[in-house]
């Protein structure tokens, strides 16, 4: 529908403007520009929320089985978690991760060919609420922790080598703030990821009559779960803080990207999003 295409265009435009203006605000140390970028991104998020609600309520093409809808929902999830962390931890800086990721994933959802996912009718609600909801929120938490982890390692290296901080570095919050993002992402994200994986196995049992098929997506998901579980254990026990969990969260995020992009789009699997 033409009206939805126009709405999608404005959403992408606002996400682009939000990402660009925040970067410029950092480079020129302009808090007003940074604050303006958050408002622009929030406006795009509001329109994106409206877009998802309208498409769901109108039931366009059985929307809960359309891959484009889920990719768009993932982009929305990134910003949902960003604004939650902004409210909870007062970390506006994470916009440098959230806005570009939301822009890339949202525009990607518009570019891919629509495909129908094999979702059994009686399980659509369960699959959407548990499998997709929990996995997308955990992925969004991982994305924010990834941005915090990269910044932590960069800033920590600057401090240890006593390199003079530039204008951008001076705008970066404390190391402790980024470690708190990592801690929160792991403590909340791992249980959600576990729920998503378990509900996925339930879905597989109903769809393919078996819990585990050695599908590449299932194998890498189990690997991610074990790595994530190790990090969760280390964070809960208090034995890991700072650089180590930052490095581990970066690894987990890259594994998640490999699973979501590499396998879903470039490999023939049960979970393929290719038409």
Mean pLDDT by 10 residues, the chain (275 residues): 80 92 83 88 94 80 67 91 86 83 87 60 61 88 92 82 60 80 93 89 72 78 93 89 91 89 66 54
> Over the range 138-155, which residues count as b (16 or more CB within 10 Å of their CB) and which as e?
bbbbbbbbbbbbbbbbeb
The backbone torsions φ and ψ at residue 92, rounded to the nearest 5 degrees and listed phi first, read: -65, -25
The answer on 122 and 95 residing in a single domain is no
Q: Which of 115, 136, 153 is the last residue of a domain?
A: 115
Q: Identify the domain containing residue 32 by its residue range.
A: 1-115
What pLDDT, on the 0 to 100 scale, is given for residue 41? 92
Distances (CA, A) of 159 to 162, 163, 175: 5, 7, 10
The answer on 108 and 32 residing in a single domain is yes
The answer on 145 and 61 residing in a single domain is no
The answer on 193 and 146 residing in a single domain is yes
Domain count of the chain? 2
The answer on 274 and 165 residing in a single domain is yes
The answer on 39 and 171 residing in a single domain is no
**Cβ within 8 Å of residue 123, ≥6 positions away:** 202, 203, 206
> Over the range 168-193, which residues count as b (16 or more CB within 10 Å of their CB) and which as e?
eeebbbebebbbbbbbbbbeebbebb
The answer on 265 and 172 residing in a single domain is yes
The reported pTM is 0.84
Q: Which of 95, 115, 135 is the last residue of a domain?
A: 115
Terminal Cα-to-Cα distance of the chain (whole angstroms):
20
The answer on 143 and 77 residing in a single domain is no
Q: Which of 68, 98, 115 is the last residue of a domain?
A: 115
The answer on 91 and 217 residing in a single domain is no
What pLDDT, on the 0 to 100 scale, is given for residue 81? 92
The answer on 192 and 163 residing in a single domain is yes
The answer on 174 and 68 residing in a single domain is no
What tokens appear for 274 in the block? 């290719």
Give dist(CA 250, CA 256) in Å, integer.
10
The answer on 223 and 271 residing in a single domain is yes
């Amino acid at each position: 529908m033409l009206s939805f295409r126009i709405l999608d265009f404005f959403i992408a435009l606002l996400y682009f403007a939000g990402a660009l203006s925040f970067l410029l605000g950092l480079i020129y140390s302009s808090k007003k520009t940074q604050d303006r970028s958050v408002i622009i991104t929030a406006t795009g998020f509001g329109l994106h929320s409206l877009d998802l609600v309208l498409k769901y309520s109108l039931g366009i093409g059985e929307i809960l089985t359309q891959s484009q809808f889920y990719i768009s929902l993932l982009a929305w999830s990134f910003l949902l978690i960003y604004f939650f962390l902004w409210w909870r931890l007062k970390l506006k800086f994470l916009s440098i991760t959230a806005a570009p990721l939301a822009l890339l994933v949202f525009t990607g959802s518009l570019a891919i060919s629509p495909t129908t996912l094999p979702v059994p009718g009686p399980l659509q609600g369960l699959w959407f609420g548990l499998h997709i909801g929990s996995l997308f929120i955990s992925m969004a938490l991982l994305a924010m922790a990834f941005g915090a982890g990269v910044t932590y390692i960069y800033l920590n290296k600057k401090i240890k080598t006593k390199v003079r901080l530039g204008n951008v570095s001076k705008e970066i919050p404390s190391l402790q703030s980024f470690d708190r993002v990592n801690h929160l992402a792991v403590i909340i994200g791992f249980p959600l990821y576990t729920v998503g994986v378990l509900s996925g196995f339930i879905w597989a049992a109903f769809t393919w009559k078996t819990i585990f098929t050695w599908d590449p997506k299932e194998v890498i998901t189990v690997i991610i779960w074990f790595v994530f579980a190790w990090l969760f254990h280390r964070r809960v026990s208090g034995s890991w803080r700072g650089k180590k969990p930052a490095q581990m969260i970066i690894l987990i995020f890259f594994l998640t990207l490999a699973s979501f992009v590499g396998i879903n789009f470039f490999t023939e699997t049960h979970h393929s999003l290719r038409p």
